Amino acid sequence: MGKPKGEPRASWVEKETFEEKKKRARTILRRLEKLYPRTRTALDYTNPFELLVATVLSAQSTDKMVNIITVTLFQKYRSPEDFLKAKPGELEQDIKASGFFNQKAKSIRGLSQKLISDFGGEVPSTMEELLTLPGVARKTANVVLGNAFGKNEGIAVDTHVHRLSWRFGFSDHDDTNKVEQDLMKLFPRDKWFNVSHLLIDHGRNVCFARNPNCAECVVNELCPAARVPAVRKKA
C-alpha cells in the first residue's frame, strides 16, 4: 500500500540515530506546515456520521469522487436508520462509482446497525469504540477522531502517508499500523492530527507516486529518496 518498492534511497538514512531522524522529521514538519498552512481533510461533511461514511467510501477511491457521490447520498440518507431502510441493491447502486461498492455497502449497513444498537445512533468519540464498528480500522477511526472531534489519538496512514513515510526514511514497514507507530514516535502528539494531512497534501502536490517533483520540493535535501543532487543542510 503506497510504498514505492524498488526506488533508490540514500544510504545515510540507515546510519541516522533515532534522535537525528526525529530532528529531521520535525524540520520537515515545520516546512510543510508553512507550505500548507490551511491543511484539512478533502472530504466534504457536515457531521461526524457523514464523515464516517465518506471515509469508508474513500477506501480505494479518491476524495474527489467520494465528494461527488456524497452530494446526493447525504441528501437521500441523513441517518443510520435511513441507510438501513434502503432496498436491496439500492445503496450499492448509489455508491457504485466509489468502487468495491458491495463491501462498502455491507460496512455502511453494519456500522449503521451498530450505531443504533450500541451508541444511540451517534458516532462514538473514542478509538476503542470506533474500532467496534464494521468496516472501521485505525485509519478511518483516526480521520473521524481528528476531524470531527479534534482528538489526537493517532496518525491516519493512507497511500500518500505510507509512500512519503518510506521516502523520508521514517518507516520501512508494509503494515500501516506499524507505519503509524513509527510516525507517532517521531512527532509530538499535538501534531499527529496534522501530520497525516500535511503528508497527504505533499503527496498530492509534489511527491507524486510516479515522477515526484523533487526539484521543487521544499525538503529535498532532507529526503533520502530525492531525485536531485543535493547536499544535506543542517536542520
Residues forming the active site: 139, 158
Judge whether 218 and 53 are in contact, CB under 8 Å.
no
What's the one-letter identity of residue 216? E
Q: What is the 8-class DSSP label of residue 189?
A: G
**233 in helix, strand or coil?**
coil
Q: What is the 8-class DSSP label of residue 96?
A: G
**109 in helix, strand or coil?**
helix
What span, in angstroms and rounded, lies between the C-alpha atoms of 123 and 43?
A: 17
In order, the DSSP letters of 11-65 are THHHH--HHHHHHHHHHHHHHHHHH-TT---S---SSHHHHHHHHHHTTTS-HHH
Look-up of cell digits 456524497: 70
**Residue 225 in grid coordinates:** 529518496
Handedness of CA 93, 94, 99, 104 (dihedral sign): negative
Judge whether 18 and 205 are in contact, CB under 8 Å.
no
